[in-house]
Amino acid sequence: MDEQKHLKNEQGEPGNKTEKSEYLFMQETIKDENSRGKKYRKDLLRIAGLGVAFGVCACISFSALRPWLDEKFPGDSQEVVIPEEKEEEKSDETTADTGNDSTVQTLGIDSYRELQKAMNSVASEAAKSVVEVIGISGEQDWTEESYDNKNSVSGLIIADNGQELLIYGKTSILRDTKEIHIRFADGTTKQASVKKKDESLGFAIYAVAKSSIAQSTWQQISIATLGSSGSVQKGDAAVVLGKPFGYAGAVGFGTIASSRNELDGDDGSYPLLCTDIGAAEDGTGVIINLSGEVVGIIDQGISGNSSKELVTGYGISGLKSEIELLSNGQAVPYIGIRGLDVTAEIEAQGIPEGVYVRTVETDSPAMAAGIQSGDIITEAAGKKITSLSAYQSVLRDQKSGSKIRLKGQRQGSGGYVDISFDVTVGSKE
């Protein structure tokens, strides 16, 4: 019995541990390492594909929602800074070229064509920064409107502060205006608002939300390059753009007839550029040089009777400080004095050195402080004043609402006596 039992165990009786171990070993699955690698690669490709799909969807969604996000959650505006000009020595307009070059160059019709083509190219590029600023009133009759009687002026794209595109233009369109529209070089029109204005010269900064401007328009417009009117001389070539002839989108070519004239304004004087190019009485626009730089802002309202029919504008150098202030939403400081320099000839007549006050503007801070015609301003904010430009420079550094002390002299029965005034700086908006 024991031998039989032992024999059965050797032959694999159920329950035997050795046989069970062999059986379990036969039940194990032998995994293919190549199949495992293929599975990992498939998983990685699937994850990568999902990542790419998610990225594409996110980009499309962000692009679609960005204008809405920019409008609802605008960031901080960047400060606009107009670079200061380097001082350049300006030669006398009457000085002629006395060189001994006796070479005579013969120019033909082809030379003229090449010159005209080059000037047209400069004008076309500069025109990308010129816009039409249109005032819309509720009573406007579109059926009676024509190209030359619209309530519009030329404007110049001055800066991009990160949130708005800023445009410099006349304020004459604002009377009875309910909406302001800007027409860009590509013909598209967008609604705008007044960021800041100054009625001393009659200019304002108009703002268009960047989020409202299509990408196709961005490709057709540009920010203007401001040159130096101080380096412009009589006889230089000039190109005029904008609305100098009474209709928008015009271009004209000519020369600078004079760069020595100045206009006396509130609290300063402004250099003028006069051309030999015909103009409309209410013409506006810009004057550019052959480098495509803006050197003048056209305003026919400042022309005298004798030059009313020729394009005249402010030299850009005299406007840069105002443009920077208005672009940053700051008021242009205003006191209300119109004066002139006491030259050596005038000083020889016994008048003290300084700025002679010719007139005081009605209801101005100067009038409120007691300044009178005939007074001589010799000091402002602790700085000696010997010219109108020095006075203007000191005033530009003040803030509207701040106080400034002006010192000077006034003629009395026994000669000139010292005077001083505490003036609250205002603005003319």
Position 65 scores a pLDDT of: 58
Domain that holds residue 194: 125-139+146-218
* Burial class of residue 68 (count of CB atoms within 10 Å of its CB; 0-12, 13-18, 19+): exposed
Per-residue burial over 311-346, b if 16 or more Cβ lie within 10 Å, else e, is bbbbbbbbbbbbbbbbbbeebbbbbbbbbebbeeee
Position 378 scores a pLDDT of: 96
Position 38 scores a pLDDT of: 59
Position 406 scores a pLDDT of: 97
Same domain, yes or no, for 214 and 250?
no
Q: Phi and psi at residue 281, in whole multiples of 5°?
A: -60, -30
- The pLDDT tens digits for 60-81 are 555 555 555 555 556 667 888 8
With contact defined as beta carbons under 8 Å apart, do 227 and 296 qualify? no
Same domain, yes or no, for 210 and 130?
yes
Same domain, yes or no, for 235 and 200?
no
Dihedral (Cα; 268, 274, 279, 284), 10-degree rounding: -40
118: in domain: no
Position 28 scores a pLDDT of: 47
Strands (E), 210-302: 237-243, 250-258, 262-265, 268-278, 284-288, 294-299
Same domain, yes or no, for 213 and 180?
yes
Same domain, yes or no, for 322 and 410?
no
β-bridge mates for residue 418, sequence order: 409
- Give the residue carrying structure tokens 């590509």: 186
CB atoms near residue 259 (< 10 Å): 23
97: in domain: no
Which is it for strands 203-209 and 262-265: parallel, antiparallel or unpaired? unpaired
293: in domain: yes
User: Cα–Cα distance between 181 and 169 in angstroms, integer?
Assistant: 12
The token duo for 231 is: 């380096």
Same domain, yes or no, for 383 and 314?
no
User: Cα–Cα distance between 363 and 334 in angstroms, integer?
Assistant: 12
Helix, coil or strand: residue 65: helix
User: Cα–Cα distance between 331 and 266 in angstroms, integer?
Assistant: 14
User: Cα–Cα distance between 407 and 421 in angstroms, integer?
Assistant: 6
User: Cα–Cα distance between 229 and 296 in angstroms, integer?
Assistant: 7
- The pLDDT tens digits for 211-262 are 999 999 999 999 999 999 999 999 999 999 999 999 999 999 999 999 999 9
- The pLDDT tens digits for 10-52 are 444 444 444 444 444 444 444 455 555 556 666 666 766 666 6
Taking residues 321-343, report their average pLDDT: 95
Same domain, yes or no, for 269 and 206?
no
Q: Is the Cα torsion angle 210, 214, 219, 220 positive or negative in sign?
A: negative
The token duo for 42 is: 């498939």
Give the count of alpha carbons within 13 A of 331, CB side only.
15
CA 404 from chain centre, in angstroms, equals 30
CA distances from 267 to 39, 165, 215, 307, 340 (A): 82, 29, 42, 24, 10
pLDDT band at 155 (very low <50, low <70, confident <90, very high): very high
108: in domain: no
Domain final residue pick, 218, 239, 263: 218
CB atoms near residue 309 (< 10 Å): 15
Position 68 scores a pLDDT of: 56
- Per the model's pLDDT, the better-predicted residue between 65 and 339 turns out to be 339
Same domain, yes or no, for 248 and 307?
yes
7: in domain: no
Same domain, yes or no, for 129 and 214?
yes
Average pLDDT of the chain is 84
Position 96 scores a pLDDT of: 44
Helix, coil or strand: residue 300: helix
For position 201, which CATH number holds? 2.40.10.10
358: in domain: yes
Taking residues 312-341, report their average pLDDT: 96
Taking residues 88-103, report their average pLDDT: 50
Same domain, yes or no, for 178 and 237?
no
6: in domain: no
CA distances from 87 to 84, 229, 230 (A): 9, 11, 9
Domain final residue pick, 327, 352, 379: 327
CB atoms near residue 86 (< 10 Å): 8
Position 63 scores a pLDDT of: 55
Domain count of the chain? 3
109-123, 323-337, 352-366, range with the lowest pLDDT:
109-123
User: Cα–Cα distance between 209 and 211 in angstroms, integer?
Assistant: 5
User: Cα–Cα distance between 410 and 224 in angstroms, integer?
Assistant: 46
Domain final residue pick, 307, 327, 347: 327
In 3D space, the residue among 302, 237, 231 whose CA is nearest the CA of residue 270 turns out to be: 302
Q: What is the largest CA-CA distance in the chain?
A: 159
23: in domain: no
Position 426 scores a pLDDT of: 96
User: Cα–Cα distance between 67 and 333 in angstroms, integer?
Assistant: 36
Same domain, yes or no, for 130 and 205?
yes
